[in-house]
Amino acid sequence: MDINAVFDTSNHSIAITQNITYYNNSNKVLDTIYLNDWSHSYSSKTSPLAERFADEFKTVFHFAKNEDRGYTAITKISQDNAALFFDRLDKKHIDIIKVALKEPLQPKSSYNLTLNYIVQIPNNKFTRYGVTDDGQYNLRFWYITPAVFDGTWHYYSNKDLDDLYLPKSDINLTVTYPKSFTPISELNTIENITRGDNITTVLQGKDVLTTKFSLVKNNDYKTIETDFFNIKSNIDTEDLDPTEVAIVTDRVTQFINKNLGDYPHDKMLLTWIDYKKDPIYGLNLLPDFIRPFDDTFQYELKILKTALRSYLENTLLINPRKDQWLLDGIQVYYLMKYVEENYPNQKILGKLANIWGVRAFHASDLEFNDQYPFLYMHMARTNLDQPLDMQKDSLLKFNKNISNKYKAAVGLNYLDDYIGNSTIENSLSEFVKISKMKPVSSSDFENFIRNKTDKNLDWFFEDYVSTSKKIDYRIKRVKKTEDSLEITIKNIRDNTMPIALFKLKNDTVISKQWIEGFKGTKKIKVEKTVADQLALNYDNVVPEFNQRNNFKKLDGFFLINKPLQFRLFKDIEDPNYSQVFFMPEFEYNFYDGLSPG
Protein backbone atom coordinates (compact mmCIF):
# COMPACT_ATOMS: atom_id res chain seq x y z
CA MET A 1 0.00 0.00 0.00
CA ASP A 2 1.51 3.31 -1.12
CA ILE A 3 0.16 6.48 0.52
CA ASN A 4 1.11 10.02 -0.43
CA ALA A 5 -0.35 12.42 2.16
CA VAL A 6 -0.02 16.21 1.98
CA PHE A 7 -1.05 18.06 5.15
CA ASP A 8 -2.79 21.42 4.86
CA THR A 9 -2.38 22.63 8.43
CA SER A 10 -4.25 25.89 7.84
CA ASN A 11 -7.43 23.99 6.91
CA HIS A 12 -6.72 20.85 8.98
CA SER A 13 -7.03 18.58 5.99
CA ILE A 14 -4.97 15.91 4.20
CA ALA A 15 -4.88 15.41 0.43
CA ILE A 16 -4.17 11.72 -0.17
CA THR A 17 -3.23 9.72 -3.24
CA GLN A 18 -3.21 6.04 -2.43
CA ASN A 19 -2.43 2.82 -4.26
CA ILE A 20 -3.75 -0.45 -2.84
CA THR A 21 -2.62 -3.86 -4.03
CA TYR A 22 -4.90 -6.48 -2.49
CA TYR A 23 -4.56 -10.25 -2.80
CA ASN A 24 -7.59 -12.51 -2.94
CA ASN A 25 -6.36 -15.40 -0.81
CA SER A 26 -9.80 -17.04 -0.71
CA ASN A 27 -11.32 -19.57 -3.09
CA LYS A 28 -14.10 -17.21 -4.15
CA VAL A 29 -14.37 -14.91 -7.17
CA LEU A 30 -14.89 -11.28 -6.18
CA ASP A 31 -16.68 -8.68 -8.28
CA THR A 32 -17.17 -6.24 -5.38
CA ILE A 33 -14.80 -5.20 -2.61
CA TYR A 34 -15.26 -3.20 0.59
CA LEU A 35 -13.06 -0.51 2.07
CA ASN A 36 -12.90 0.95 5.57
CA ASP A 37 -13.14 4.74 5.69
CA TRP A 38 -13.39 5.48 9.39
CA SER A 39 -12.46 9.13 8.95
CA HIS A 40 -15.92 9.59 7.46
CA SER A 41 -17.68 8.29 10.58
CA TYR A 42 -17.55 11.84 12.02
CA SER A 43 -19.48 13.34 9.09
CA SER A 44 -23.03 12.84 10.35
CA LYS A 45 -24.98 13.24 13.58
CA THR A 46 -26.79 9.99 12.76
CA SER A 47 -23.74 7.79 12.09
CA PRO A 48 -23.06 4.74 14.31
CA LEU A 49 -20.30 6.77 15.95
CA ALA A 50 -22.71 9.60 16.73
CA GLU A 51 -25.24 7.13 18.11
CA ARG A 52 -22.54 5.66 20.32
CA PHE A 53 -21.76 9.11 21.69
CA ALA A 54 -25.46 9.65 22.39
CA ASP A 55 -25.73 6.29 24.17
CA GLU A 56 -22.87 7.31 26.45
CA PHE A 57 -24.40 10.79 26.99
CA LYS A 58 -21.50 12.54 25.28
CA THR A 59 -23.19 15.66 23.92
CA VAL A 60 -20.04 17.38 22.68
CA PHE A 61 -20.30 15.76 19.23
CA HIS A 62 -23.93 16.72 18.65
CA PHE A 63 -23.37 20.34 19.66
CA ALA A 64 -20.06 20.69 17.80
CA LYS A 65 -19.60 23.03 14.87
CA ASN A 66 -19.65 21.44 11.42
CA GLU A 67 -16.02 22.39 10.83
CA ASP A 68 -15.01 20.45 13.96
CA ARG A 69 -16.47 17.22 12.62
CA GLY A 70 -14.36 15.37 10.07
CA TYR A 71 -15.23 13.66 6.81
CA THR A 72 -13.71 12.10 3.70
CA ALA A 73 -14.31 13.57 0.23
CA ILE A 74 -13.41 10.95 -2.40
CA THR A 75 -12.79 12.39 -5.84
CA LYS A 76 -11.90 9.19 -7.67
CA ILE A 77 -11.33 5.45 -7.32
CA SER A 78 -9.77 3.81 -10.37
CA GLN A 79 -8.37 0.49 -11.53
CA ASP A 80 -5.83 0.51 -14.36
CA ASN A 81 -6.70 4.18 -15.03
CA ALA A 82 -10.38 3.29 -15.45
CA ALA A 83 -12.81 4.95 -13.02
CA LEU A 84 -14.77 2.51 -10.88
CA PHE A 85 -18.27 2.82 -9.47
CA PHE A 86 -18.30 3.20 -5.69
CA ASP A 87 -20.78 4.20 -3.04
CA ARG A 88 -21.26 4.38 0.71
CA LEU A 89 -22.74 1.10 1.86
CA ASP A 90 -25.85 2.45 3.65
CA LYS A 91 -26.88 4.92 6.34
CA LYS A 92 -25.81 2.53 9.09
CA HIS A 93 -22.40 2.07 7.49
CA ILE A 94 -21.49 5.48 6.11
CA ASP A 95 -17.82 4.75 6.79
CA ILE A 96 -17.77 1.61 4.60
CA ILE A 97 -17.22 1.97 0.84
CA LYS A 98 -18.53 -0.54 -1.68
CA VAL A 99 -16.48 -0.68 -4.91
CA ALA A 100 -17.45 -2.56 -8.08
CA LEU A 101 -14.34 -3.98 -9.79
CA LYS A 102 -13.74 -3.60 -13.51
CA GLU A 103 -13.35 -7.35 -13.87
CA PRO A 104 -14.06 -10.21 -11.42
CA LEU A 105 -11.05 -10.98 -9.24
CA GLN A 106 -10.13 -14.65 -9.42
CA PRO A 107 -8.89 -16.66 -6.41
CA LYS A 108 -5.19 -16.22 -5.61
CA SER A 109 -5.09 -13.10 -7.79
CA SER A 110 -4.66 -9.44 -6.91
CA TYR A 111 -6.16 -6.10 -7.83
CA ASN A 112 -4.68 -2.59 -7.89
CA LEU A 113 -6.74 0.41 -6.90
CA THR A 114 -5.82 4.08 -6.99
CA LEU A 115 -7.72 6.42 -4.68
CA ASN A 116 -7.75 10.20 -4.60
CA TYR A 117 -9.44 11.81 -1.61
CA ILE A 118 -9.28 14.53 1.02
CA VAL A 119 -9.60 13.85 4.73
CA GLN A 120 -10.95 16.67 6.86
CA ILE A 121 -9.47 16.03 10.29
CA PRO A 122 -11.94 16.14 13.21
CA ASN A 123 -11.31 17.92 16.48
CA ASN A 124 -9.68 15.68 19.09
CA LYS A 125 -12.30 16.49 21.74
CA PHE A 126 -14.48 13.60 20.51
CA THR A 127 -12.11 10.62 20.72
CA ARG A 128 -8.72 12.19 21.60
CA TYR A 129 -7.69 11.54 17.98
CA GLY A 130 -7.67 14.47 15.58
CA VAL A 131 -6.44 18.05 15.69
CA THR A 132 -5.77 19.59 19.08
CA ASP A 133 -6.63 23.14 20.13
CA ASP A 134 -3.00 24.16 19.59
CA GLY A 135 -2.93 22.75 16.05
CA GLN A 136 -1.14 19.43 16.56
CA TYR A 137 -2.33 16.13 15.07
CA ASN A 138 -2.79 12.70 16.61
CA LEU A 139 -4.24 10.29 14.09
CA ARG A 140 -5.39 6.68 13.97
CA PHE A 141 -7.44 4.91 11.28
CA TRP A 142 -7.03 8.04 9.20
CA TYR A 143 -6.57 6.59 5.72
CA ILE A 144 -8.73 4.16 3.73
CA THR A 145 -7.95 0.46 4.15
CA PRO A 146 -9.31 -2.74 2.58
CA ALA A 147 -11.68 -4.82 4.69
CA VAL A 148 -10.65 -8.36 5.63
CA PHE A 149 -12.03 -11.14 3.40
CA ASP A 150 -11.57 -14.79 4.36
CA GLY A 151 -14.56 -16.17 2.48
CA THR A 152 -16.73 -13.63 4.31
CA TRP A 153 -16.32 -9.87 4.39
CA HIS A 154 -15.52 -8.50 7.83
CA TYR A 155 -16.47 -4.84 8.04
CA TYR A 156 -18.23 -2.71 10.64
CA SER A 157 -18.50 0.95 11.55
CA ASN A 158 -16.37 3.06 13.85
CA LYS A 159 -17.84 3.34 17.36
CA ASP A 160 -14.83 4.80 19.18
CA LEU A 161 -13.70 1.36 20.31
CA ASP A 162 -10.33 1.38 18.50
CA ASP A 163 -11.12 -2.03 17.04
CA LEU A 164 -10.70 -1.81 13.27
CA TYR A 165 -10.06 -5.27 11.79
CA LEU A 166 -7.26 -4.97 9.24
CA PRO A 167 -5.20 -7.30 7.05
CA LYS A 168 -1.44 -7.00 7.41
CA SER A 169 0.09 -4.61 4.89
CA ASP A 170 3.43 -3.47 3.56
CA ILE A 171 3.17 0.32 3.77
CA ASN A 172 5.11 3.03 1.99
CA LEU A 173 3.98 6.34 3.50
CA THR A 174 5.12 9.67 2.09
CA VAL A 175 4.06 12.64 4.21
CA THR A 176 4.47 16.33 3.37
CA TYR A 177 4.04 18.90 6.16
CA PRO A 178 5.33 22.33 7.31
CA LYS A 179 8.84 22.56 8.74
CA SER A 180 7.53 23.58 12.16
CA PHE A 181 6.16 20.06 12.76
CA THR A 182 7.80 16.76 13.70
CA PRO A 183 6.32 13.46 12.48
CA ILE A 184 5.83 10.63 15.00
CA SER A 185 5.31 7.10 13.72
CA GLU A 186 6.26 3.50 14.44
CA LEU A 187 7.19 3.05 10.78
CA ASN A 188 10.84 3.26 9.79
CA THR A 189 12.06 6.61 8.47
CA ILE A 190 13.76 6.21 5.09
CA GLU A 191 14.53 9.83 4.20
CA ASN A 192 13.61 13.48 4.82
CA ILE A 193 13.49 15.97 1.94
CA THR A 194 13.21 19.71 2.54
CA ARG A 195 11.48 21.81 -0.14
CA GLY A 196 11.04 25.44 0.86
CA ASP A 197 8.86 25.68 3.95
CA ASN A 198 7.81 22.03 3.78
CA ILE A 199 9.42 18.70 4.60
CA THR A 200 8.61 15.40 2.92
CA THR A 201 9.26 12.30 5.01
CA VAL A 202 9.27 8.80 3.57
CA LEU A 203 8.28 6.02 5.99
CA GLN A 204 8.09 2.28 5.45
CA GLY A 205 6.80 -0.73 7.36
CA LYS A 206 6.40 -4.43 6.61
CA ASP A 207 3.47 -6.55 7.86
CA VAL A 208 1.86 -3.54 9.51
CA LEU A 209 -1.53 -3.97 11.22
CA THR A 210 -2.18 -0.51 12.62
CA THR A 211 -0.56 2.83 11.97
CA LYS A 212 -0.72 5.65 14.49
CA PHE A 213 0.67 8.93 13.21
CA SER A 214 1.22 12.30 14.87
CA LEU A 215 2.43 15.70 13.74
CA VAL A 216 3.62 17.66 16.74
CA LYS A 217 5.13 21.09 17.27
CA ASN A 218 6.62 20.25 20.66
CA ASN A 219 8.17 16.82 20.49
CA ASP A 220 7.80 15.24 23.94
CA TYR A 221 8.44 11.68 22.75
CA LYS A 222 11.47 9.83 24.10
CA THR A 223 12.99 6.73 22.49
CA ILE A 224 14.38 4.01 24.74
CA GLU A 225 16.59 1.43 23.08
CA THR A 226 16.50 -2.07 24.54
CA ASP A 227 17.95 -5.44 23.58
CA PHE A 228 14.57 -6.58 22.28
CA PHE A 229 12.80 -3.67 20.59
CA ASN A 230 12.78 0.10 20.94
CA ILE A 231 9.95 1.97 22.62
CA LYS A 232 9.01 5.49 21.60
CA SER A 233 6.68 7.04 24.15
CA ASN A 234 5.28 10.25 25.58
CA ILE A 235 3.54 8.59 28.53
CA ASP A 236 4.13 10.49 31.78
CA THR A 237 7.32 9.17 33.40
CA GLU A 238 6.20 10.09 36.95
CA ASP A 239 9.27 12.39 37.20
CA LEU A 240 11.67 9.44 37.14
CA ASP A 241 15.20 10.16 36.04
CA PRO A 242 16.16 8.95 32.53
CA THR A 243 18.29 6.09 33.89
CA GLU A 244 15.38 4.67 35.90
CA VAL A 245 13.06 5.05 32.89
CA ALA A 246 15.54 3.07 30.78
CA ILE A 247 15.85 0.32 33.41
CA VAL A 248 12.06 0.00 33.76
CA THR A 249 11.54 -0.05 29.99
CA ASP A 250 14.19 -2.73 29.52
CA ARG A 251 12.59 -4.86 32.26
CA VAL A 252 9.18 -4.57 30.58
CA THR A 253 10.45 -5.43 27.09
CA GLN A 254 12.41 -8.37 28.50
CA PHE A 255 9.26 -9.72 30.19
CA ILE A 256 7.20 -9.36 27.00
CA ASN A 257 9.88 -10.96 24.86
CA LYS A 258 10.28 -13.87 27.28
CA ASN A 259 6.56 -14.65 27.46
CA LEU A 260 5.26 -13.65 24.02
CA GLY A 261 8.30 -13.98 21.79
CA ASP A 262 10.12 -11.59 19.47
CA TYR A 263 8.32 -8.43 18.42
CA PRO A 264 8.24 -8.40 14.59
CA HIS A 265 8.92 -4.65 14.28
CA ASP A 266 11.89 -2.51 15.19
CA LYS A 267 10.02 -0.13 17.46
CA MET A 268 6.78 0.25 19.34
CA LEU A 269 4.92 3.54 19.67
CA LEU A 270 3.20 4.13 23.02
CA THR A 271 1.22 7.36 23.32
CA TRP A 272 -0.50 9.08 26.21
CA ILE A 273 -3.74 8.52 24.28
CA ASP A 274 -3.16 4.76 24.34
CA TYR A 275 -2.82 4.85 28.10
CA LYS A 276 -5.73 7.22 28.72
CA LYS A 277 -8.01 4.92 26.73
CA ASP A 278 -6.88 1.82 28.66
CA PRO A 279 -5.40 2.97 31.98
CA ILE A 280 -4.49 1.14 35.16
CA TYR A 281 -7.82 1.75 36.88
CA GLY A 282 -7.32 2.99 40.39
CA LEU A 283 -3.97 4.62 39.66
CA ASN A 284 -5.58 6.92 37.11
CA LEU A 285 -8.18 8.19 39.59
CA LEU A 286 -5.77 9.32 42.30
CA PRO A 287 -4.82 13.00 42.58
CA ASP A 288 -1.13 13.81 42.34
CA PHE A 289 -0.76 14.60 46.04
CA ILE A 290 -1.82 11.05 46.98
CA ARG A 291 0.98 8.67 46.05
CA PRO A 292 0.26 5.25 47.61
CA PHE A 293 2.58 3.51 45.15
CA ASP A 294 6.20 4.12 44.26
CA ASP A 295 6.70 6.20 41.12
CA THR A 296 8.69 3.35 39.58
CA PHE A 297 5.84 0.89 40.15
CA GLN A 298 3.24 3.25 38.68
CA TYR A 299 5.26 4.00 35.57
CA GLU A 300 6.21 0.34 35.14
CA LEU A 301 2.59 -0.82 35.10
CA LYS A 302 1.52 1.99 32.78
CA ILE A 303 4.21 1.08 30.25
CA LEU A 304 3.58 -2.65 30.65
CA LYS A 305 -0.18 -2.53 30.13
CA THR A 306 0.07 -0.20 27.15
CA ALA A 307 2.92 -2.19 25.60
CA LEU A 308 1.07 -5.51 26.01
CA ARG A 309 -1.96 -4.08 24.21
CA SER A 310 0.17 -2.63 21.44
CA TYR A 311 2.09 -5.91 21.07
CA LEU A 312 -1.08 -7.97 20.70
CA GLU A 313 -2.73 -5.50 18.32
CA ASN A 314 0.34 -5.51 16.08
CA THR A 315 0.95 -9.27 16.02
CA LEU A 316 -2.42 -11.09 16.13
CA LEU A 317 -4.68 -10.88 13.08
CA ILE A 318 -7.85 -11.25 15.13
CA ASN A 319 -11.27 -9.63 14.86
CA PRO A 320 -11.10 -7.23 17.84
CA ARG A 321 -14.83 -6.55 17.92
CA LYS A 322 -15.89 -10.19 17.91
CA ASP A 323 -13.01 -11.83 19.82
CA GLN A 324 -11.92 -8.97 22.06
CA TRP A 325 -12.10 -11.17 25.17
CA LEU A 326 -9.05 -13.13 24.07
CA LEU A 327 -6.93 -10.00 23.61
CA ASP A 328 -8.16 -8.61 26.93
CA GLY A 329 -7.58 -11.90 28.73
CA ILE A 330 -3.99 -12.29 27.52
CA GLN A 331 -3.17 -8.66 28.28
CA VAL A 332 -4.47 -8.64 31.87
CA TYR A 333 -3.24 -12.21 32.54
CA TYR A 334 0.36 -11.14 31.87
CA LEU A 335 -0.17 -7.91 33.77
CA MET A 336 -1.12 -10.04 36.80
CA LYS A 337 1.80 -12.39 36.19
CA TYR A 338 4.27 -9.49 36.07
CA VAL A 339 3.10 -8.13 39.42
CA GLU A 340 3.17 -11.63 40.90
CA GLU A 341 6.78 -12.13 39.79
CA ASN A 342 8.20 -8.68 40.47
CA TYR A 343 6.00 -7.23 43.23
CA PRO A 344 4.62 -10.26 45.13
CA ASN A 345 4.01 -8.25 48.33
CA GLN A 346 2.34 -5.26 46.73
CA LYS A 347 -0.98 -4.41 48.38
CA ILE A 348 -4.04 -3.05 46.63
CA LEU A 349 -3.86 0.07 48.86
CA GLY A 350 -0.12 0.45 48.44
CA LYS A 351 1.56 2.42 51.23
CA LEU A 352 -1.84 3.35 52.68
CA ALA A 353 -2.20 -0.24 53.90
CA ASN A 354 0.44 0.45 56.58
CA ILE A 355 -1.22 3.55 58.03
CA TRP A 356 -2.66 3.20 61.53
CA GLY A 357 -6.42 2.89 61.33
CA VAL A 358 -6.40 1.82 57.69
CA ARG A 359 -4.51 -1.40 58.38
CA ALA A 360 -7.35 -2.55 60.64
CA PHE A 361 -9.57 -2.97 57.59
CA HIS A 362 -9.57 -6.17 55.56
CA ALA A 363 -9.09 -4.03 52.43
CA SER A 364 -5.53 -3.39 53.58
CA ASP A 365 -4.82 -7.14 53.49
CA LEU A 366 -5.73 -7.56 49.83
CA GLU A 367 -2.94 -8.14 47.34
CA PHE A 368 -2.68 -5.92 44.26
CA ASN A 369 -3.95 -8.71 41.99
CA ASP A 370 -7.04 -9.23 44.18
CA GLN A 371 -8.62 -6.22 42.49
CA TYR A 372 -9.29 -8.18 39.30
CA PRO A 373 -11.75 -10.79 40.67
CA PHE A 374 -13.13 -8.16 43.06
CA LEU A 375 -14.13 -5.71 40.31
CA TYR A 376 -15.51 -8.48 38.08
CA MET A 377 -17.60 -9.84 40.95
CA HIS A 378 -18.90 -6.33 41.66
CA MET A 379 -20.73 -6.43 38.31
CA ALA A 380 -21.73 -10.08 38.76
CA ARG A 381 -23.31 -9.42 42.16
CA THR A 382 -25.31 -6.51 40.74
CA ASN A 383 -26.37 -8.75 37.83
CA LEU A 384 -24.81 -6.41 35.27
CA ASP A 385 -22.13 -8.77 33.99
CA GLN A 386 -22.19 -9.92 30.37
CA PRO A 387 -20.77 -12.92 28.47
CA LEU A 388 -17.13 -12.67 27.44
CA ASP A 389 -17.87 -13.48 23.80
CA MET A 390 -20.48 -10.74 23.42
CA GLN A 391 -19.46 -8.26 20.72
CA LYS A 392 -17.50 -5.32 22.02
CA ASP A 393 -20.03 -2.74 20.84
CA SER A 394 -22.80 -4.48 22.83
CA LEU A 395 -21.04 -4.32 26.19
CA LEU A 396 -21.80 -1.86 28.95
CA LYS A 397 -19.07 0.73 29.29
CA PHE A 398 -17.88 -0.58 32.68
CA ASN A 399 -17.81 -4.15 31.34
CA LYS A 400 -15.97 -3.10 28.18
CA ASN A 401 -13.34 -1.13 30.06
CA ILE A 402 -12.94 -3.16 33.24
CA SER A 403 -15.19 -6.06 34.20
CA ASN A 404 -14.98 -8.28 31.12
CA LYS A 405 -11.23 -7.72 30.80
CA TYR A 406 -10.76 -8.87 34.37
CA LYS A 407 -13.20 -11.75 34.03
CA ALA A 408 -11.24 -13.02 31.01
CA ALA A 409 -7.89 -12.92 32.85
CA VAL A 410 -9.32 -14.40 36.05
CA GLY A 411 -10.91 -17.14 33.93
CA LEU A 412 -7.59 -18.02 32.31
CA ASN A 413 -5.99 -18.22 35.76
CA TYR A 414 -8.90 -20.40 36.95
CA LEU A 415 -8.46 -22.67 33.94
CA ASP A 416 -4.70 -22.89 34.51
CA ASP A 417 -5.16 -23.95 38.13
CA TYR A 418 -7.81 -26.52 37.15
CA ILE A 419 -5.71 -28.17 34.42
CA GLY A 420 -2.49 -27.91 36.41
CA ASN A 421 1.20 -28.04 35.46
CA SER A 422 1.08 -24.39 34.26
CA THR A 423 -0.59 -25.68 31.09
CA ILE A 424 -2.43 -22.45 30.29
CA GLU A 425 0.55 -20.25 31.13
CA ASN A 426 2.74 -22.22 28.73
CA SER A 427 0.00 -22.59 26.12
CA LEU A 428 -0.78 -18.86 26.04
CA SER A 429 2.85 -18.13 25.31
CA GLU A 430 3.02 -20.83 22.65
CA PHE A 431 -0.29 -19.75 21.07
CA VAL A 432 0.84 -16.15 20.65
CA LYS A 433 4.20 -17.22 19.22
CA ILE A 434 2.80 -19.64 16.60
CA SER A 435 -0.12 -17.35 15.68
CA LYS A 436 2.00 -14.27 15.13
CA MET A 437 1.08 -12.38 11.93
CA LYS A 438 -1.48 -15.08 11.00
CA PRO A 439 -5.30 -14.90 10.89
CA VAL A 440 -6.58 -16.30 14.17
CA SER A 441 -9.81 -16.43 16.19
CA SER A 442 -11.06 -17.43 19.62
CA SER A 443 -12.20 -20.74 18.06
CA ASP A 444 -8.59 -21.44 17.09
CA PHE A 445 -7.57 -20.72 20.67
CA GLU A 446 -10.24 -23.07 21.99
CA ASN A 447 -9.09 -25.92 19.74
CA PHE A 448 -5.47 -25.24 20.68
CA ILE A 449 -6.18 -25.42 24.43
CA ARG A 450 -8.40 -28.50 24.15
CA ASN A 451 -5.53 -30.36 22.47
CA LYS A 452 -3.27 -29.60 25.44
CA THR A 453 -5.25 -31.60 28.00
CA ASP A 454 -7.43 -34.69 28.35
CA LYS A 455 -9.77 -32.87 30.73
CA ASN A 456 -13.23 -31.76 29.60
CA LEU A 457 -13.19 -27.99 29.06
CA ASP A 458 -16.78 -27.56 27.92
CA TRP A 459 -17.55 -25.73 31.16
CA PHE A 460 -15.03 -23.00 30.36
CA PHE A 461 -15.94 -22.25 26.75
CA GLU A 462 -19.69 -22.96 26.98
CA ASP A 463 -20.47 -21.64 30.47
CA TYR A 464 -17.72 -19.26 31.61
CA VAL A 465 -17.04 -17.59 28.24
CA SER A 466 -20.40 -17.77 26.49
CA THR A 467 -22.77 -16.99 29.38
CA SER A 468 -22.97 -14.80 32.46
CA LYS A 469 -23.75 -17.75 34.74
CA LYS A 470 -22.46 -17.40 38.28
CA ILE A 471 -20.49 -19.95 40.33
CA ASP A 472 -21.70 -20.83 43.82
CA TYR A 473 -21.10 -24.08 45.72
CA ARG A 474 -21.57 -24.94 49.38
CA ILE A 475 -20.76 -27.87 51.64
CA LYS A 476 -24.18 -29.20 52.63
CA ARG A 477 -23.17 -31.91 55.11
CA VAL A 478 -20.27 -34.09 56.22
CA LYS A 479 -20.66 -37.66 57.42
CA LYS A 480 -17.76 -39.25 59.28
CA THR A 481 -16.88 -42.91 59.03
CA GLU A 482 -14.02 -44.84 60.58
CA ASP A 483 -11.49 -44.01 57.86
CA SER A 484 -13.15 -41.51 55.55
CA LEU A 485 -15.36 -38.46 55.22
CA GLU A 486 -18.49 -38.49 53.06
CA ILE A 487 -19.00 -34.93 51.89
CA THR A 488 -22.18 -33.67 50.23
CA ILE A 489 -21.56 -30.62 48.06
CA LYS A 490 -24.38 -28.62 46.52
CA ASN A 491 -24.13 -26.56 43.33
CA ILE A 492 -26.52 -23.68 43.90
CA ARG A 493 -26.27 -22.49 40.29
CA ASP A 494 -27.15 -24.00 36.91
CA ASN A 495 -23.73 -24.78 35.45
CA THR A 496 -21.00 -27.41 35.58
CA MET A 497 -17.94 -25.32 36.43
CA PRO A 498 -15.45 -27.12 38.72
CA ILE A 499 -14.64 -26.21 42.31
CA ALA A 500 -11.63 -26.95 44.53
CA LEU A 501 -11.97 -28.70 47.90
CA PHE A 502 -9.42 -28.02 50.66
CA LYS A 503 -8.60 -29.78 53.91
CA LEU A 504 -7.35 -27.43 56.63
CA LYS A 505 -5.61 -27.86 59.96
CA ASN A 506 -5.30 -24.71 62.10
CA ASP A 507 -5.96 -22.63 58.97
CA THR A 508 -3.12 -24.37 57.13
CA VAL A 509 -3.82 -26.19 53.87
CA ILE A 510 -3.22 -29.95 54.11
CA SER A 511 -4.57 -30.96 50.71
CA LYS A 512 -6.39 -29.63 47.67
CA GLN A 513 -8.37 -31.50 45.05
CA TRP A 514 -10.51 -30.38 42.15
CA ILE A 515 -14.13 -31.54 42.00
CA GLU A 516 -15.51 -31.86 38.49
CA GLY A 517 -18.53 -29.66 37.84
CA PHE A 518 -22.01 -31.07 38.37
CA LYS A 519 -25.60 -29.95 38.80
CA GLY A 520 -27.57 -30.41 41.99
CA THR A 521 -25.74 -32.28 44.72
CA LYS A 522 -22.80 -34.65 44.70
CA LYS A 523 -21.35 -36.96 47.33
CA ILE A 524 -17.62 -37.58 47.45
CA LYS A 525 -15.48 -39.61 49.79
CA VAL A 526 -12.09 -38.43 50.98
CA GLU A 527 -9.55 -39.90 53.34
CA LYS A 528 -9.99 -39.03 56.98
CA THR A 529 -6.95 -37.10 58.18
CA VAL A 530 -5.99 -34.70 60.97
CA ALA A 531 -7.91 -31.90 59.24
CA ASP A 532 -10.24 -29.89 61.46
CA GLN A 533 -12.00 -27.97 58.68
CA LEU A 534 -13.11 -28.34 55.06
CA ALA A 535 -13.31 -25.42 52.65
CA LEU A 536 -14.28 -24.79 49.07
CA ASN A 537 -12.26 -22.34 46.99
CA TYR A 538 -10.00 -21.45 49.94
CA ASP A 539 -7.40 -19.81 47.67
CA ASN A 540 -10.08 -17.72 45.87
CA VAL A 541 -8.93 -18.89 42.43
CA VAL A 542 -12.56 -19.51 41.43
CA PRO A 543 -14.53 -16.25 40.91
CA GLU A 544 -17.36 -17.40 43.15
CA PHE A 545 -20.56 -15.43 43.72
CA ASN A 546 -20.88 -16.20 47.43
CA GLN A 547 -17.89 -17.36 49.48
CA ARG A 548 -19.57 -17.16 52.86
CA ASN A 549 -20.94 -20.72 52.65
CA ASN A 550 -17.69 -22.48 51.74
CA PHE A 551 -16.57 -23.72 55.16
CA LYS A 552 -17.46 -26.74 57.31
CA LYS A 553 -15.92 -27.49 60.71
CA LEU A 554 -15.22 -31.14 61.50
CA ASP A 555 -15.06 -30.60 65.25
CA GLY A 556 -16.84 -28.38 67.74
CA PHE A 557 -20.25 -26.74 67.60
CA PHE A 558 -21.74 -27.53 64.19
CA LEU A 559 -23.40 -24.13 63.72
CA ILE A 560 -20.12 -22.24 63.96
CA ASN A 561 -18.08 -23.09 60.84
CA LYS A 562 -16.00 -19.91 60.93
CA PRO A 563 -14.78 -17.58 63.68
CA LEU A 564 -17.16 -14.76 64.54
CA GLN A 565 -15.81 -11.26 63.92
CA PHE A 566 -17.26 -7.86 64.82
CA ARG A 567 -16.13 -4.92 62.67
CA LEU A 568 -16.70 -1.21 63.07
CA PHE A 569 -17.54 0.58 59.81
CA LYS A 570 -18.06 -1.02 56.43
CA ASP A 571 -15.26 -3.05 54.92
CA ILE A 572 -14.53 -5.52 52.13
CA GLU A 573 -15.93 -8.90 53.05
CA ASP A 574 -13.54 -11.49 54.50
CA PRO A 575 -14.93 -14.97 53.67
CA ASN A 576 -12.76 -16.58 56.37
CA TYR A 577 -14.94 -15.06 59.11
CA SER A 578 -18.61 -14.76 59.99
CA GLN A 579 -18.69 -10.99 60.14
CA VAL A 580 -21.00 -8.52 61.87
CA PHE A 581 -20.57 -4.89 60.81
CA PHE A 582 -21.49 -1.92 62.97
CA MET A 583 -22.00 1.35 61.18
CA PRO A 584 -22.49 4.29 63.59
CA GLU A 585 -24.82 7.03 62.42
CA PHE A 586 -25.33 10.51 63.79
CA GLU A 587 -28.19 12.87 62.99
CA TYR A 588 -29.06 16.31 64.25
CA ASN A 589 -32.06 18.60 64.04
CA PHE A 590 -33.12 21.65 65.99
CA TYR A 591 -35.95 19.97 67.91
CA ASP A 592 -34.36 16.63 68.86
CA GLY A 593 -30.73 17.63 68.98
CA LEU A 594 -28.03 15.01 68.41
CA SER A 595 -29.35 11.50 67.68
CA PRO A 596 -26.65 8.82 67.67
CA GLY A 597 -27.53 5.35 66.37
Three-state SS for 318-358 is CCCCCCHHHHHHHHHHHHHHHHHHHCCCCECCHHHHHCCCC
pLDDT-derived band at 473, boundaries 50, 70, 90? very high
Q: Residue 118: what pLDDT?
A: 97
What mean pLDDT comes out for the span 48-67? 92
| Closest to 553 measured CA to CA, from 534, 536, 525 | 534
**CA distance linking residue 405 with residue 379, whole number of Å:** 12
What residue spans in the chain does CATH classification 2.60.40.1730 cover? 2-219
Q: What is the pLDDT of residue 199?
A: 96
- Local confidence band at 500 (pLDDT 50, 70, 90 cut-offs): very high
Regarding pTM above 0.75, the answer is yes
Tens of pLDDT, residue by residue over 307-321, are 999 999 999 999 999
Q: How far apart are CA 472 and CA 548, in angstroms?
A: 10
Predicted pLDDT of residue 364:
79
* 7 against 555, higher pLDDT: 7
* pLDDT at position 597: 61
Q: What is the mean pLDDT of residues 412-441?
A: 94
| Alpha carbons 38 and 144: distance in angstroms, whole number | 7
What torsion, rounded to 10 degrees, do the Cα atoms 415, 416, 420, 422 define? 160
Looking at the domain covering 2-219, what would its CATH class be?
Answer: mainly beta
Q: Where in the chain is the domain with CATH 1.10.390.10?
A: 224-464
Select the more confidently predicted residue: 335 or 546.
Answer: 335
- Give the pLDDT band of residue 397 (cuts 50, 70, 90): very high
Q: What is the mean pLDDT of the chain?
A: 91
Closest CA to 548 of 570, 522, 580: 580
Higher per-residue confidence, 528 vs 86: 86
What homologous superfamily is domain 473-560 in, according to CATH? Immunoglobulins (2.60.40.10)
Where exactly does CATH 2.60.40.10 map onto the chain?
Answer: 473-560
Q: Residue 531: pLDDT band by 50, 70, 90 thresholds?
A: confident
Which pLDDT does position 483 carry in this prediction? 85
Nearest Cα to 265, choosing from 304, 209, 198, 345? Answer: 209
What pLDDT is recorded for position 285?
63
Q: Does domain 224-464 have CATH number 1.10.3720.10?
A: no
**Average pLDDT, stretch 478-501?**
92
What SS3 state is found at 424? helix
Per-residue pLDDT averaged across 164-183, rounded? 95
Give the CA distances from residue 153 to residues 101, 104, 165, 260, 389, in Å, rounded to whole numbers and listed in that order.
15, 16, 11, 29, 20
